Amino acid sequence: MLLQKKLLLLILISSLSCFSQNKNFIKHNDSLVGFENLAYNNGLVYYNKYKTTSNNTSQFLENKYSNGILQYNNQTYTDLSLKYDVFEDLLLFKPASQLVLETSLITKQVDYFILKNKKFRKIETISSDKTTSSGFFEEVEINEKCTLYIKHKKTLKSDFQSVKLSYIFYDYNVYYIFYNNKLEEISSKKSIINLFPTLKKEIKQFYNTNRNQRENNIQLFYQNLFKTII
C-alpha cells in the first residue's frame, strides 16, 4: 500500500513537471507568434537594392540571418532570426512562418538587439540643423561612469569587374563616449582632451605609450583609455 502511494506521488510530480514545461513552451511560442504578427502589421517588406559580388555586403559582418535577442516596444524576444543592414541602418527580421521573406522593423520601436554577441541600442541624435533621427549604435560598457558607442557605417562603390551592375561595400566606424548624460563624438586625441581638459596629461601619456594598440585596434584602445582616465 505504501509502495502504491509512492508510485502515485511520483506520477503526479512528473505530470505536474510536464504540464509546467508544456505551459512554458506554449507561452514562449505564443510570444513569438505575437511578435511575428506585430512585425507584419508594423514592419515593411524588405528588398535588398544592392546586389554584391563579394563578401563585402551591406549587412553587419555577413549577409546571413543569425539567432538574436530583441527588445521591441519594451517586450523582450529570444531566438529570433535577425540581420542588421548597416548601410541602410535597418534591423531585419525573418519570420519562421515564411509568409513574408524579410521584414524591416520600425527603428523607433526597437529598444535594443543582440546579434553575434554584440549589443546594439537605438539612440536618437540631433543633427546640426536640429533634425532628430534614430539609429543603431553598438554598446560597449566601460564602467559604471561611461559607455563607448560605435556607429557602424558603410560606403559603397560600383563593381566594374562584374558583368551586371553590382556593388562592393567598405566598413568604417564612428566612435562616441557617453559620459555625464551626454553623447560626444571622439575622433582624435584633441577631441578627447577637449572633453576632459583636466586629464590632458594622462591622455597624452596614454597615447604615447599605446601607439601600437591605437593603430591595430582602435576600439580596444578607446576602451582601455577610458578605463584608465575615468
Of 149, 134, 127, 156, the residue nearest 59 (C-alpha): 156
pLDDT number for residue 121: 97
Residues 164 and 214 in one domain: no
| 149 and 162 co-located in one domain | yes
First to last CA, the chain: 71
Residues 30-56 as b/e (b if ≥16 CB within 10 A, e otherwise) read eebeebbebbeeebeebeeebebeeeb
> How far apart, in whole angstroms, are the C-alpha atoms of residue 32 and residue 23?
14
Residue 205 shares a structural domain with residue 218: yes
Q: Does a structural domain hold residue 149?
A: yes
For residue 218, being part of any structural domain is answered with: yes
Domain count, the chain: 2
Q: pLDDT at position 132, please?
A: 78
The b/e string for 86-112 (b: 16+ C-beta within 10 A; e otherwise) is: bbbbbbbbbbeeeebebbbbbeebbeb
Same domain for 125 and 224, yes or no, is no
Residue 52 maps to a domain: yes
Q: Are residues 122 and 212 in the same domain?
A: no
Give CA–CA dist 86/106, Å, rounded.
15
Confidence (pLDDT) at 226: 97
Query: What range does the domain containing 92 cover?
Result: 44-186
pTM tops 0.85, yes or no: no
The bridge status of strand 167-179 relative to strand 146-158 is antiparallel
Identify whether 195 is part of a domain: yes
In a domain, 34, yes or no: no
Same-domain pairing of 118 and 143: yes
Shared domain for 109 and 180, answered yes or no, is yes
Bridge partners of 139?
A: 149
Q: Are residues 150 and 223 in the same domain?
A: no
Residues 79 and 139 in one domain: yes
Q: Decide if 72 contacts 38 (C-beta within 8 A).
A: yes
Tell me, yes or no, whether 86 lies in a domain.
yes
- Whether 155 is in a domain gets the answer yes
Tens-digit pLDDT string for the chain (230 aa): 444 444 344 434 444 444 344 434 333 443 444 555 555 446 677 777 877 766 678 888 888 899 999 999 899 999 999 999 999 999 999 877 666 678 889 899 999 999 999 999 999 887 767 777 889 999 999 999 999 999 999 998 887 776 677 888 899 999 999 999 999 999 999 999 999 999 999 999 999 999 999 999 999 999 999 999 99
What is the rounded CA–CA span in Å between residue 89 and residue 66? Answer: 17
Q: Is residue 102 part of a domain?
A: yes
> Angle between the 200-209 and 218-229 helix axes, to the nearest 10 degrees?
140
Do residues 219 and 117 both lie within one domain? no
Do residues 155 and 192 both lie within one domain? no
Same domain, 131 and 212: no
